[in-house]
Amino acid sequence: MERFRRVWIFSDLHLTRTDDPLYRSLITALDEPAGSEDAVIFAGDVFDLVVGDSAHYRTKHRLFLEAVARLLGRKVRVFYIEGNHDFHLSGFMPSGVRFEPEAVCVEVGEAGSLRKLYVAHGDLVDQNDVGYLRLRAFFRSAPLQQVSRALPGAWIDRLASKLSRPPERKASELPEYWDPLRRDALRKVFREFAAGIRARGFDGVILGHCHDFDSEGGFYFNMGYPPVHRQFLVCGDFPDSGGEMIFRRNFPGF
Ligand SMILES: [Mn+2]
């Protein structure tokens, strides 16, 4: 397992417009990781949506890709776990970014006080969601990858804007506005998954995907939905950690 002093985790930003203040803020936040003891984990649904490696997406997200290239230039380790809105990205991201299909497992801290961290997107947590899991397998399949490579990114963009709901509507659909029974049922699935990972010897579990701004016992954190909650997660040796292993930070400027 690789070992780092500090880890930054970003997921579920669902970025579309490059002039979105949250987009600019992410770029600013990426200025902080400084060297080979630091790691950045993009844990899925950073974009809404990027599929494949077309010139369209590489041009549109030039700012982001340049920020990632600067991280790699500073020897920061960069991981990408694909989400359900951003996948087939191995040609899109600069070479040197490490793709993990399910989870990133790293040790964080210093010798003598190392803690094991598990980070995943979270779309594999609910194994009862058979419909979604089938759809995921279909989208990730090699034939679909070929199709996504062949389609102009601008087409995919136009299709996505027709299919995806506007951010305002997404905000009103967050689990925090659900019927408490339904919300707690979702929360239970994620918390039980995290407890299972903890039982395997991990000290911290970070998930996203369901947009539920939840945490439990200092070891499980869900990212929530940054377009509304405006926070990301960090883990390790930070002056503002207050002794916590994992904690939330505001996106710069918010
Ligand atoms: Mn997701």
pLDDT at 188 over 90: yes
Q: Which amino acid is at 143?
A: P
**Span from the CA of 174 to the centroid of ligand 1 (angstroms):** 13
193 phi and psi angles, rounded to 5 deg: -60, -45
* Structural domain containing residue 186: 3-250
Where do the H-state alpha helices sit in the chain?
21-29, 55-60, 62-73, 130-140, 142-150, 153-163, 167-172, 180-199, 226-229
Per-residue pLDDT, 153: 79
Question: How many domains are contained in the chain?
Answer: 1
pLDDT at 159 over 80: no
Q: Which of 71-75, 109-113, 121-125 has the lowest mean pLDDT?
A: 109-113
**Span from the CA of 123 to the centroid of ligand 1 (angstroms):** 6
Higher per-residue pLDDT: 146 or 65: 65
**Span from the CA of 210 to the centroid of ligand 1 (angstroms):** 7
Distance CA(222)–CA(89), nearest Å, equals 24
**Span from the CA of 239 to the centroid of ligand 1 (angstroms):** 31
Judged on CB neighbours under 10 Å (0-12, 13-18, 19+), 178 is middle
**Span from the CA of 121 to the centroid of ligand 1 (angstroms):** 7
**Span from the CA of 124 to the centroid of ligand 1 (angstroms):** 10
Per-residue pLDDT, 170: 79
Residue range 26-68, pLDDT digits in tens: 999 999 999 999 999 999 999 988 888 888 899 999 999 999 9
**Span from the CA of 7 to the centroid of ligand 1 (angstroms):** 21
**Span from the CA of 14 to the centroid of ligand 1 (angstroms):** 9
Q: In what order do the strands lie in the sheet with 246-250?
A: 98-99, 77-80, 38-42, 6-10, 231-236, 246-250
Q: Provide the whole-model pTM.
A: 0.95
**Span from the CA of 12 to the centroid of ligand 1 (angstroms):** 7
Per-residue pLDDT, 4: 98
Quote the DSSP letter at residue 165. Answer: P
Per-residue pLDDT, 121: 97
Residue with tokens 């030039």: 62
Contacts of 105-108 with C-beta under 8 Å, sequence gap 24+, read 105/1, 105/202, 106/1, 106/2, 106/3, 106/4, 106/7, 106/39, 107/1, 107/2, 107/3, 107/4, 108/3, 108/4, 108/5, 108/6, 108/7, 108/204, 108/235, 108/236, 108/245
Q: Which of 175-184, 218-227, 238-247 has the lowest mean pLDDT?
A: 238-247
**Span from the CA of 133 to the centroid of ligand 1 (angstroms):** 12
**Span from the CA of 47 to the centroid of ligand 1 (angstroms):** 10
**Span from the CA of 211 to the centroid of ligand 1 (angstroms):** 8
CATH of the domain at 146: 3.60.21
Q: Which amino acid is at 124?
A: L
Residue range 191-202, pLDDT digits in tens: 999 999 999 999
pLDDT at 166 over 80: no
Per-residue pLDDT, 50: 86
**Span from the CA of 224 to the centroid of ligand 1 (angstroms):** 11
**Span from the CA of 222 to the centroid of ligand 1 (angstroms):** 12
Q: In what order do the strands lie in the sheet with 204-207?
A: 3-4, 103-108, 115-120, 204-207, 220-222, 215-216
- Residue 4, token pair as written in the block: 């780092």
pLDDT at 181 over 90: yes
Per-residue pLDDT, 203: 97
